[in-house]
Amino acid sequence: MTNPYVPVLVLMAVAAVLALGGVAASAVIGPKRYNRAKLDAYECGIEPTPHATGGGRLPIKYYLVAMTFIVFDIEVVFLYPWAVDFTTLATFGLVAMLGFLALITVPFVYEWRRGGFDWV
């Protein structure tokens, strides 16, 4: 096969059939004896707390984690092609990458010192 991505599509098709089929089968096979309490949200048997519209508020920490993640994820994405072509890029590649990593380390240390990674 000339295109190596076609088998991935084949596997995707098989996986999709399985994923859809399972849920559909249980919807057909299973018993259906509903009542109001069964369809309510689970909260250990008490009346569930009403939800704020839009999901409510979350601690700002999660937002910080997401921001830092993007910085580092892009760093990793830049590291991969360099790692694969390591011997071809030779000294120039190493120096350039070390400079790049040093630049990424500065905000990392800054965030660390400012308490961006402290959770309490």
Partner 1 sequence: MIPGVAADFSQDNIWVSLVKAVLIVVFLLTSVLFAIWFERKVVARMQVRPGPNWHGPVGLLQSLADAMKLLLKEDVNVTRADRVTYLLAPMISVFCALLVFAVIPFGPEVTIPFTDFTTPLQLTDFPVAVLYVLACASLGVYGIVLGGWSSGSTYPLLGAVRSTAQVISYELAMGLALVSVFIMAGSMSTSQIVASQAPLWWFIPLFPAFVVYVISMIGETNRLPFDLPEAEGELVSGYMTEYSSMKFAWFFLAEYINMLNVSAVCVTLFLGGWRAPWPLSALGDGMLNEGWWPILWFLVKLWAVMFVFVWVRGTLLRLRYDQFMVFGWKVLIPVALAFAVVVAVMQWARRVAEVPLENTLVVIVIVCGIAFLAIWLWPERARPEKPDESAVLDAFADGYPVPPLPGQKLPPSPRGRRAPLEHEPDQEHQADDLQKEGVTGE
User: Coil, helix or strand for 57?
Assistant: coil
* Nearest distance in Å: CB 110, partner 1: 14
* Nearest distance in Å: CB 88, partner 1: 9
Residues 97 and 103: beta-carbon distance below 8 Å: no
* Nearest distance in Å: CB 58, partner 1: 6
* Nearest distance in Å: CB 91, partner 1: 6
Residues 71 and 107: beta-carbon distance below 8 Å: yes
Where along the sequence are the contacts to partner 1 (CB under 8 A)? 1, 4-8, 10-16, 18-20, 22-23, 25-27, 29-34, 38-44, 48-49, 51, 55-56, 58, 61-62, 65-66, 68-69, 72-73, 76, 79-80, 83-87, 90-91, 94, 97-98, 101, 105, 108, 112, 117-120
- What's the CA gap between 59 and 51, in Å, rounded? 16
Phi, psi of 79 (to 5 degrees): -70, -35
Smaller CB distance to partner 1: residue 58 or 106?
58
CA atoms within 13 A on the CB side of 72: 12
Structure tokens at 107: 């905000």
